[in-house]
Amino acid sequence: MDIIHACCAGLDVHKKTVVACIRSIGPDGTVSREVRTFGTTTAELLALSDWLEAHGVVPVAMESTGVYWKPIFNLLEGSFQVKLVNAHPIKQVPGRKTDVKDAEWIAELLQYGLLSSSFIPPPEIRNLRDLTRQRTQIVRDRATVANRIQKVLEDANIKLSSVASDVLGVSGRAMIRAIIDGEDDPDELAGMAKRRLRGKIPELKQALHGRVTEHHRFLLRSLLEQIEFLEGLIARFDARIEEAMAPFDEAAGRLRAIPGVGEKAAEVIMAEVGPDMTPFPTAGHLSSWAGLCPGNDLSAGKRRSGKTTKGSQWLRTTLVQVAWAASRTKDTIFSACYHRWAKRMGKKKALVAVAHKILVVVYHLLKNRTDYRENGKPVKVA
């Protein structure tokens, strides 16, 4: 095999230590290795950087170990050509496994050009990604707390969810707060209904007749306070994300023109892939990275599995949600494809296929900087 890098380094990253191996080949073809172990504090990582620079190292490869690679990558990326690689395909032959051998193996693979770099977006996109992922987790926490409120109401035999579609809507919250304050008259509680829910007052009177104890009131008060805190936190993240999205408004506007892609979905897509499609040579590469490509498991002329590949769970989840929204639109290509494919492969597989189709559209819109067109006509975003 041809040698790609005369001098390079491999890093085996752990929580407390980094084992670094510098591998170089002299003019006469002799291979020399030098291995050192550093801590993961800032001072130790700066010492690692100085050591690599003193030996003339430019390319550096490291495993993507949990979140421990991030501070090392952030510190080295400005001075070296850092490659973050998936740990799975670079495993050695079993036996004689040590941290030193791992670092030497990574350096050797890098020297021969056998390592593929993971996609690492620029710092501003990484910051945006942290915000959108954290917001998603908080939204999930809110949904969990909302389910707990529903459990407490059911335990008290309050059947509010049987009548109101949104227990935590304006009417539902007013009723829950009144219950917390000690109100137990179904007529008084039903009278707090707003708007269309006022047409269901007779049903509400029946549903709000329960057996609420002080124990239930304590739980409801605590959970409602938790819901309000999480909603305030979500609002703060929304404002921060809006600021971080300002440089990418033009690209996000193109995404919002796609059927099913709302503001939140556009923010997540932008945070996961960024506006620059240069790291992905084709739409197929992006689809594979997102985990929306069918698997390729063929042996003896028989296809054994078509299960989709592993990829970015954040992007895949959002795109499947977008596909579900797009499938319910009228007179769009995505809706037509979903209904046609659902008959042949089932609803779930059809949603994944539509999500793949949407991602291909996203790729071309961002790469070519063009506007989305439906039936040959551009779609304007309000």
62 with 95, same domain?
yes
69 with 100, same domain?
yes
Question: What confidence score (pLDDT) does residue 48 get?
Answer: 96
- For the stretch 86-141, pLDDT in tens is 877 777 556 667 888 889 999 999 999 888 888 999 999 999 999 999 999 999 99
Q: Would residue 117 count as lying in a domain? A: no
215 with 143, same domain?
yes
Question: What confidence score (pLDDT) does residue 374 get?
Answer: 81
Question: What confidence score (pLDDT) does residue 293 get?
Answer: 83
Residue ending a domain, among 111, 139, 160, is: 111
Query: What DSSP letter does each residue of 58-91 carry, written as one string?
Result: -EEEEE--TTTHHHHHHHHTTTSEEEEE-SGGGP
Residue ending a domain, among 84, 111, 138, is: 111
CA-to-CA dists, residue 294 to 22, 288, 303, 304, 313, angstroms:
39, 8, 12, 12, 15
* φ/ψ (deg, to 5) at 181: -80, -5
Q: Would residue 118 count as lying in a domain? A: no
Q: Which of helix, strand or coil describes residue 38? A: strand
239 with 271, same domain?
no
- Residue 210 CA to its chain's centroid (Å): 42
Residues 208 and 102: beta-carbon distance below 8 Å: no
Question: What confidence score (pLDDT) does residue 303 get?
Answer: 72
**Residue 87, C-beta contacts closer than 8 angstroms, at least 6 positions apart:** 63, 64, 65
Q: Would residue 310 count as lying in a domain? A: yes
Q: Would residue 92 count as lying in a domain? A: yes
Q: Would residue 116 count as lying in a domain? A: no
Q: What residues pair up with 22 in beta bridges, in sequence order?
A: 9, 34
Count the domains in the chain.
3
239 with 253, same domain?
no
Cα angle 21, 22, 28 (rounded to 5 degrees) comes to 135
- What is the span of the domain harbouring residue 287? 248-297+306-378
291 with 365, same domain?
yes
Nearest CA-CA partner of 258 in 110, 378, 112: 378
253 with 239, same domain?
no
Residue 149's CB: how many other CB atoms inside 10 A?
Answer: 22
Per-residue model confidence as pLDDT tens for the chain (382 residues): 688 899 999 999 999 999 999 999 988 888 999 999 999 999 999 999 999 999 999 999 998 778 899 999 999 998 999 999 987 777 755 666 788 888 999 999 999 988 888 899 999 999 999 999 999 999 999 999 999 999 999 999 999 999 998 999 999 999 999 999 999 899 999 999 998 899 999 999 999 999 999 999 999 999 999 999 999 999 999 999 999 999 999 999 999 999 999 999 999 999 999 999 999 999 999 999 999 987 777 777 777 766 777 888 999 999 999 999 999 999 899 999 999 999 998 999 999 999 999 999 999 999 999 999 887 665 555 4
Tokens linked to 184: 């137990």
Question: What confidence score (pLDDT) does residue 149 get?
Answer: 96
Residues 61 and 9: beta-carbon distance below 8 Å: yes
Q: Would residue 210 count as lying in a domain? A: yes
* φ/ψ (deg, to 5) at 336: -65, -45
Q: Would residue 2 count as lying in a domain? A: no
**Residue 272, C-beta contacts closer than 8 angstroms, at least 6 positions apart:** 129, 132, 290, 312, 314, 315, 318
Query: In one letter, which amino acid is 101?
Result: K
Query: What DSSP letter does each residue of 305-344 carry, written as one string?
Result: E-PPPP--HHHHHHHHHHHHHHHTSSS-HHHHHHHHHHHH
Question: What confidence score (pLDDT) does residue 382 get?
Answer: 43
Q: Would residue 96 count as lying in a domain? A: yes
Question: What confidence score (pLDDT) does residue 73 get?
Answer: 94
CATH code, domain carrying 164: 1.10.287
17 with 56, same domain?
yes
159 with 53, same domain?
no
Q: Which of helix, strand or coil describes residue 39? A: strand
Residue ending a domain, among 64, 87, 111, is: 111
Rg (CA), the chain: 27
Nearest CA-CA partner of 258 in 159, 335, 167, 145: 335
Residues 295 and 306: beta-carbon distance below 8 Å: yes
CATH code, domain carrying 39: 3.30.420.10
238 with 257, same domain?
no
Please tell me the distance from the alpha carbon of residue 280 to that of residue 272, in angstroms, as a whole number: 13
Residue 212's CB: how many other CB atoms inside 10 A?
Answer: 20
What's the predicted TM-score (pTM) here? 0.87
79 with 150, same domain?
no
Query: In one letter, which amino acid is 256?
Result: R
253 with 238, same domain?
no
Please tell me the distance from the alpha carbon of residue 88 to that of residue 239, in angstroms, as a whole number: 38
